[in-house]
Amino acid sequence: MQVESRLEDLILKLFDIEGVKFGDFKLKSGIQSPAYFDLRVIVSYPKLMREVSQVLWETAKNAQKFVSICGVPYTALPIASVMSVDNDVPMLIRRREAKDYGTKKMIEGKYEKGDVCLVVEDVVTSGSSVYETVELLNEYGLQVKDAVVLLEREQGGTERLKRDGVNLHSVITMTQLVSVLKKNGKIDETMYSRVLKFVAGNRFDNPTIPSVGSGDTPAKKAKSEMTYKERANLCKNSVSKQLLEIMEQKQSNLAVSADHTSASDILQLVDQVGSKVCIVKTHADIIDDFSDTFVHKLQELAKKHNFLIFEDRKFGDIGNTVLHQYKGGIHKIADWADIVNAHTVPGAGVVTGLKQVGGDKNKACLLVAEMSSSGSLAKGDYTRATVEIAKENSDFVIGFICQNKLMDDPVFIHMTPGVKLKSGTDSLGQQYITPKDAVFVNKSDLIIVGRGITAASDPVAEAELYRKAGYDAYLERLA
């Protein structure tokens, strides 16, 4: 069959199995689209899967020499498997779940440092999914020069990947797809024009496209590394802006977790180490003699040393309950804490409830997306859903408590607890990584240190070691 008629035949088959649909669809990037391409269904059609794998393999001949291939999970994973087996080329698997560090590798398979790997994807819109896989492969020492994709939606993905050093080779473009479908009477003239108009008006290199906080839009695109100051300039939430500015000014990405149980011990520690930290984190409910006076003195110290106060309350109830827990009770957290955090177990309502109190007071919230404790259930789909809740509430949610960087959007701040100068564990399930692992390897922004400082014989000297280790890791990342 001629190349053109073969592609036409393939497009019609994809339409028949509803791999491409027309109507009104919300894309991963948040944008409403008249066309939706979803190839997950292909696993039910082995012959078509082989055909798709073959055309992708032929397209891969335009790529530079590679030694392995890696499909972007999940849809392209089985497709890459067929390409691998049919052509006897080794494959790598990229894990999607957040790394349960220390136990799981994010890239499975055999590879050598410097190996060139070809990335395989079903559909490219902004290019961000391909790029996430490229970044991860790079972290493991692999090189990616090319990627192949079945459908290029022509919304700027090719150009964006090119800027990041990856050549994208596509089998079908959106224009080709709708032209074939129109020609064969599968869609009418109106839908054909609607799709083409949509594609032209929704390119990700068009800065007028509103950001959805996904990091997709170049207007807010995280160049591989931006400084805290540059990121501060992009923040709309005053707390994240102020925090990033403090981090830059004080050259500190250290939050001290002042986990003493007496108010005076906390205040003494905070006065000692305040100049070295950007945040003081509290657990109001472990303080035996919590009082308004304590709060007042803590706020005075925050002014004196220029840090923000983060109450680690980890709200985790329905919206109505957390609203009261945040506003009232004996702690009246919303009156004094710049930042609070929440578990997302209850769903997005927990954020809505907190926002009703904190939104008007210019406060901010972090979502607990991953935990440092052994066997934590906050991983995989839970973590991903948490990221979605954050994106939808980016006016109030400024980032995450996590172990790894979870998204590219530079306005979101990643904070990592479970940090000590030496990795290890405590007797109750806490797991420690080093400041360098947190900031340089896992690309977090900020380290949260408790006992590493509070239990030290010289907390001031120790805080300085953590400040320097954390900030040096950040500088190294920038470099």
Cα 255 off chain centre by: 21
* Phi, psi dihedral angles at 131 (to 5 degrees): -65, -35
User: Which one from 314, 332, 405, 468 is the annotated catalytic residue?
Assistant: 314
Whose Cβ is closer to ligand S5P: residue 312's or residue 408's?
312
> Shortest distance, CB of residue 276 to ligand S5P, whole angstroms?
16
Whose Cβ is closer to ligand S5P: residue 122's or residue 370's?
370
H or E element, residue 254: strand 254-257
Whose Cβ is closer to ligand S5P: residue 115's or residue 311's?
311
> Shortest distance, CB of residue 382 to ligand S5P, whole angstroms?
13
Longest dimension (CA), the chain: 82
Bond before 74 cis per omega within 30 degrees:
yes
The two tokens of residue 383 are: 């973590």
Q: For residues 191 and 167, what is the distance between their CA atoms, to the nearest angstrom?
A: 30
> Shortest distance, CB of residue 442 to ligand S5P, whole angstroms?
13
> Shortest distance, CB of residue 77 to ligand S5P, whole angstroms?
30
Q: Which residues contact 183 (CB under 8 A, 6 or more apart)?
A: none
Report which DSSP code applies to 441: I
Whose Cβ is closer to ligand S5P: residue 129's or residue 444's?
444
Residue nearest to ligand S5P (CB): 450
221 a catalytic residue? no
Whose Cβ is closer to ligand S5P: residue 92's or residue 366's?
366
Q: For residues 336 and 302, what is the distance between their CA atoms, to the nearest angstrom?
A: 11
297 a catalytic residue? no
Residues found in the chain: 479
Q: For residues 31 and 126, what is the distance between their CA atoms, to the nearest angstrom?
A: 11
Other residues' Cβ atoms within 10 Å of the Cβ of residue 90: 15
> Shortest distance, CB of residue 399 to ligand S5P, whole angstroms?
12
Whose Cβ is closer to ligand S5P: residue 114's or residue 375's?
375
Q: Pick from 75, 113, 110, 116: which is nearest to 96 by CA?
A: 75
Report which DSSP code applies to 374: T
Q: Is 143 helix (H, G, I), strand (E, B) or coil?
A: strand
Q: Which residues contact 263 (CB under 8 A, 6 or more apart)?
A: 287, 288, 289, 290, 291, 293, 294, 297
> What is the C-alpha radius of gyration for the chain, rounded to an integer number of angstroms?
25
Q: For residues 230 and 236, what is the distance between their CA atoms, to the nearest angstrom?
A: 13
> Shortest distance, CB of residue 424 to ligand S5P, whole angstroms?
11
Whose Cβ is closer to ligand S5P: residue 63's or residue 387's?
387
Beta strands, E only, 125-197: 146-152, 167-173
Cα 423 off chain centre by: 24
Q: For residues 168 and 408, what is the distance between their CA atoms, to the nearest angstrom?
A: 21
CA angle, corner 287, sides to 284 and 288, nearest 5?
Answer: 140
> Shortest distance, CB of residue 445 to ligand S5P, whole angstroms?
15
Amino acid (one-letter) located at 377: L
User: Which one from 38, 100, 205, 317 is the annotated catalytic residue?
Assistant: 317
* Phi, psi dihedral angles at 74 (to 5 degrees): -100, -30
Whose Cβ is closer to ligand S5P: residue 180's or residue 340's?
340
Q: For residues 253 and 170, what is the distance between their CA atoms, to the nearest angstrom?
A: 42
Q: For residues 404 and 104, what is the distance between their CA atoms, to the nearest angstrom?
A: 13
Whose Cβ is closer to ligand S5P: residue 428's or residue 479's?
428
List interacting residues with ligand S5P (CB under 6 A).
257, 259, 283, 312, 371-373, 401, 417-418, 430, 448-452
> Shortest distance, CB of residue 257 to ligand S5P, whole angstroms?
4
> Shortest distance, CB of residue 329 to ligand S5P, whole angstroms?
19
Please give the positions annotated as active site.
314, 317
